[in-house]
Chains A and B, each alone.
Chain A
Amino acid sequence: MRERGQREVFCGLTGIVWLHRKIQDAFFLVVGSRTCAHLLQSAAGVMIFAEPRFATAIIEERDLAGLADMNDELDAVVARLIARRPEIRLLFLVGSCPSEVIKLDLSRAAARLDAIHGPALRVLNYSGSGIETTFTEGEDACLSALAATLPSAAADAGPSLLVAGVLPDIVEDQFARLFAAMGIEAAFLPARRADAMPAIGRETRVLLAQPFLGNTARTLAERGATRIAAPFPFGAEGTTLWLRAAAEAMGVAPATFERATAPARRRAETALAARRAALAGKSIFFFPDSQLEPSLARFLAREMGMRPVEVGTPYLHREHLAEELALLPETTRLAEGQDVDRQLDRCRAAKPDLAVCGLGLANPLEAAGIRTKWAIELIFSPIHGYEQAADLADLFVRPLDRADRLAALEAAA
């Protein structure tokens, strides 16, 4: 089903919170309002105090009234920023709702600033506005901008594997080791430093690590790369299918694949088996948040025995999700978009054992007697791959475990 109405979701600016941790010499400058700055500090929590590599250039009345030339103002802000943080090598000008509505041309500003401060500093632009992007789509917009500027692979370069999507360093290292064991040297987008971004060409095979990378995949395709179709690497099964799709595309022999992946796969399966009893048979309801929902529902249904009632997603990329959707139970109701009040009605009527939702809905649902799991934690925690499969399951086990532990308190209250 498709819904339109009030959407209780984050905008794409939120992606900055994890993107800036990944690219160590990049700075994210939002051009927006006080609301944008307030959102970032609300989403970033205490992280904002660790001299973070993001900030907001707040548009003021004088900018809107034409008293100040906004491009001059922006140039001055960037100059001040660069003076303060000379170690920055890559600057993203991030568009917001206000900057998009007043049609401030940030792509031209980025080109101008790139000419002024280059080559030591590269300046790129993307939009993280709420009117255009939902939560993780901010990462898609950022990586898409980055993908357009990747160096071209040498003409005689052989087939190469590019894994796209921000992964925690520990997860990235695990995947790199697994690929190395198959004889593949995998590159990752984004790289950890601006000067180490991977090259791309006609022989590049792209493996998406996240389901929300529609624009990035298209930009990479325009650069000649080919996408490898696969489900996403959540749980033992998802990880195996994901790795196998890459191995097959790169011509790895089945025996080599088996030898490289078997130990980690067995570890993951053993760890998941220990948690299955806590989740099996339980119903789960996903509110739309990150586009991870169908993949997580597939993992929870097939590997943990849960029953997904409704799986909401802010946007459904039918081509990239084809392999996932084929694995989802047929009884699952897929909902694209949102009308939050109606969806809350459906959730309360369904009385799921667990609802996955944003922080604005979680406590109100708990108060209404529905156990919840905050969706945002699924973005900030390492959950991909074999070694994290059980951690992923634990994120869903914990609220249910807690309900059991507090049963006596509930009764007393």
Chain B
Amino acid sequence: MKLTVWTYEGPPHVGAMRVATAMKGLHYVLHAPQGDTYADLLFTMIERRDHRPPVTYTTFQARDLGADTAAIFQTACADAFERFAPDAIIVGASCTAELIQDDPAGLASALRLPVPVIPLELPSYQKKENWGAAETFYALVRRLADPGTRPADPEAARRTCNILGPTALGFRHRDDVVEVAAILERLGIEVNVTAPLGARPSDLTRIPAAGFNVVLYPEIADTAARWLERTFGQARTRTVPIGVGATTDFVHEVAALAGVDPAPALGGSRLPWWSRSVDSNYLTGKRVFIFGDATHAVAAARVCADELGFTIAGLGTYAREFAREVRAAATGYGIEALVTDDYLEVEAAIAALAPELVLGTQMERHIAKRLGIPCAVISAPVHVQDFPARHSPQMGFEGANVLFDTFVHPLTMGLEEHLLTMFRDDFEFHDAAGPSHLDAAPSPLAETSAASDAPILWHSEAEKELRKIPFFVRGKARRNTEQYAATRGLATISLETLYDAKAHFGR
């Protein structure tokens, strides 16, 4: 058993729901107890969908346990087929139904429905949401992809591709698809099928007709794309186009796969100039902590290091399936990756590193708020405000513009930061005021001492001077000074010690 307050991912059947809800003409019959319908509201509320997810739950109750639940499943399945007339059905069990050992696959096939019925095996006690989405998409592609649609002349199909991976409840999936499709159009590459988002089961049968696959989100599409590569020889892209550098690499990769000139799709982001302009000088070396799914975390780290001039103080993911990629990226920045799905561990890491900016999920936003650190969201899980009405991709050159604004806005603006330093203790620019765009007062948590077991006394004069340091670096200053004093065996910190430590640690 594992003690859990917050979970970064839902159970695997929620991943299957994300695929089913993304598609049209597909229905999911889920063997699940009363109450599991709560997951509907993720789609109707957070993503603000105007239709119910295409999911029928058996919602069995205690009085049904025994032979009855199998019959309930069959009735639900038959009723769903009649009412919704889907082109294909997926069937499976949620965590509780997995325990009662009815066989959704056998029960559904006994109904002899005139459409494909695809069983899902989603081990709820081992795997999680993203794995469930990947497995569901793979099961659908494997069952429906028709080898007969494979082009007779592979060279003729070279300039067509599929876009794989976008789902319902995906962070900015809607707008990423628009950006990537625009890049492909500029390159003269035709999109054969985009899936699962917006696809019908009949579209999945045509997947083999394309020359290659664009894998937008490896967490969801990699399993299916690898299978397509093995089975039909369709190459898959390895670069996720988040950031200027990655998008440029992506354009070159795709152009090479399609045998076209990359030039028409290159350039067009404001990020390089915005980042070079003098107001961005103050961004140099800002220490950033990054956490999220593997794809977004690694991509954000590259943008931060190479395109904004930040220092990567911490990098991690909750997705164990992709820990290898994140570890490799972290090593490149000279740090060790944090791979955990326990948000208390993430909180401890952020508190210890005292970064100046946190990029993460909804949880890191709340952790950062508690610690009084600026924060931006780069990855699911996210709340309703991160399914915006406006166009806000993460991918492509427009995505890079969005990233620049998103990462920079929570930081104290250059001039504002300058004023805070210059007029420390000033009546208007005192620390309790905080940056004008953050309403929360900084939490004292950010200032806790480094070594609580060996208390070091601060002279009142030094303490007073410490208060003059802007709040967003004060916690680090306190810790550094105490660490400096401890290594020199000093029991008390004077004004001198404070400035000695400042000179020692530099920035």
Partner-B contacts on A (CB < 8 A): 6-14, 31, 33-35, 37-39, 41-43, 46, 48-49, 52, 54-61, 63-64, 68, 70, 73-74, 76-77, 80-81, 97-98, 100-102, 129-132, 134, 341, 358-364, 366-367
Partner of B60 from the list A12, A68, A100, A131 (CB cut-off 8 Å) is A131
Residues in B whose Cβ lies below 8 Å from that of A8? 37, 40
| Cβ of B62 under 8 Å from chain A | yes
A9 with B35: CB separation less than 8 A: yes
Contacts of A76 in B (CB 8 A): 1
A131 to chain B, nearest CB (A): 4
Task: Say yes or no for B366: interface residue by CB 8 A criterion.
Answer: yes
8 of the cross-chain contacts (CB-CB < 8 Å) are: A31-B1, A38-B10, A55-B5, A56-B5, A58-B4, A76-B1, A101-B100, A102-B99
B33 and A129 contacting across the interface, CB-CB below 8 Å: yes
**Given known A-B contacts A38-B10, A364-B44, A367-B51, A97 and B33 have beta carbons under 8 A apart:** yes
Render B64-93 as a binary contact track against A, CB cut-off 8 A, 1 for contact.
110000000000100100010000000000
A360-B56 in contact (CB<8A): no
Is the pair A58, B2 in contact by a Cβ cutoff of 8 Å? yes
Q: Is B436 an interface residue (CB 8 A)?
A: no
B420 at interface by CB-CB < 8 Å = no
Which residue of chain B lies nearest to A138 when distances are taken between CB atoms in the complex? B35
- Kindly state the separation between the CA atoms of A37 and B34 in the bound complex, as whole angstroms: 16
**Centre residue among A7, A11, A68, A81 by max chain B CB count within 10 A:** A7
Q: Which of B3, B13, B383 contacts A80 (CB 8 A)?
A: B3
A155 to B99, CA, bound (A): 49
Interface residue? B245 (CB, 8 A): no
Chain A residues with CB below 8 A from B34, complex form: 7, 9, 11, 130-131, 134
Q: What string of 1s and 0s marks CB contacts (under 8 Å) between B1-45 and chain A?
A: 111111101110110000000000000000001111111111011
B50 pairs with A34, CB closer than 8 A = no
Kindly state the interface size class of chain B when it binds its partner: 35 or more
**Which residues of chain B are near A70, meaning CB under 8 Å?**
1
A149 CB, min distance to chain B CBs, angstroms: 24
Q: Kindly list 6 other residue pairs between chains A and B, CB separation below 8 angstroms, not including A33-B96, A34-B7, A61-B126.
A: A33-B95, A37-B6, A38-B39, A42-B39, A131-B34, A361-B40
Q: Which residues of B contact A (CB under 8 A)?
A: 1-7, 9-11, 13-14, 33-42, 44-45, 48-52, 56-62, 64-65, 76, 79, 83, 94-96, 99-100, 123-126, 128, 363, 366, 370, 383
Main SS class of interface, B = mixed
Q: Are B1 and A60 in contact (CB under 8 A)?
A: yes
Residues of A within 8 A of B51 (CB): 364, 367
Complex contact A42–B42 (CB within 8 A): yes
B contact residues around A42 at 8 Å (CB):
38-39, 41-42
Which 8 interchain pairs have the tightest Cβ spacing? A11-B35, A130-B35, A360-B40, A367-B50, A97-B96, A359-B41, A33-B95, A49-B366
Using Cβ atoms and an 8 Å threshold, which residues of chain A touch B1? Answer: 31, 57-60, 63, 68, 70, 73-74, 76-77
A11-B39 Cα distance, complex, nearest whole Å? 12
CB distance from A114 to the nearest CB of B (A): 19
Select B52's contact among A11, A39, A73, A360, beta carbons within 8 Å: A360
- Assess the B49–A363 pair: CB atoms within 8 A: yes
A47 to B90, CA, bound (A): 35
Would you call B7 and A41 a contact (CB within 8 A)?
yes
A33 pairs with B125, CB closer than 8 A: yes
Are B96 and A131 in touch, CB under 8 angstroms?
yes
- Which residues does chain A contribute within 8 Å of B64, judged by CB atoms? 131
**Which B residues are in CB contact (< 8 Å) with A101?**
65, 96, 99-100
B2 interface neighbour in A7, A52, A57, Cβ under 8 Å: A57
Contact assessment for B4 and A56 in the assembled complex, using a CB-CB cutoff below 8 Å: yes
A61: which of B50, B59, B76, B125 is its contact (CB, 8 Å)?
B125
Query: Taking CB as reference atom, which chain A residue is nearest B12?
Result: A34
Query: What CA separation (Å) do A367 and B99 show in the bound complex?
Result: 37
Contact A35 B3 (CB under 8 A): no
Across the interface, do B33 and A55 meet the contact criterion of CB distance under 8 Å?
Answer: no
Central interface residue in A60, A97, A362, by most chain B CB within 10 Å: A97
Task: Give the CA-CA distance A155 to B200 in the complex, in Å.
Answer: 72
Given A43-B38, A48-B5, A100 and B124 contact (CB-CB distance below 8 Å): no
- Known contacts being A37-B4, A77-B1, is A97 close to B50, with CB within 8 Å? no
Contact check, A59 vs B366: say whether CB atoms are below 8 A apart. Answer: no
A98 touches B44 (CB 8 A): no
Judge whether B95 and A34 touch: CB under 8 Å.
Answer: yes
Please pick, from A7, A54, A80, the residue contacting B37 in the complex, using a CB distance under 8 A. Answer: A7
In the complex, the answer to whether A131 meets B33 with C-beta atoms within 8 Å is: yes
Report the Cα distance A409→B57, complex, angstroms: 36
**Chain A proximity of B30: nearest CB distance (Å):** 10
Selected from B62, B125, B128, the residue in CB contact (under 8 A) with A59 is B125
- How far in angstroms is the closest Cβ of chain B from A380? 14
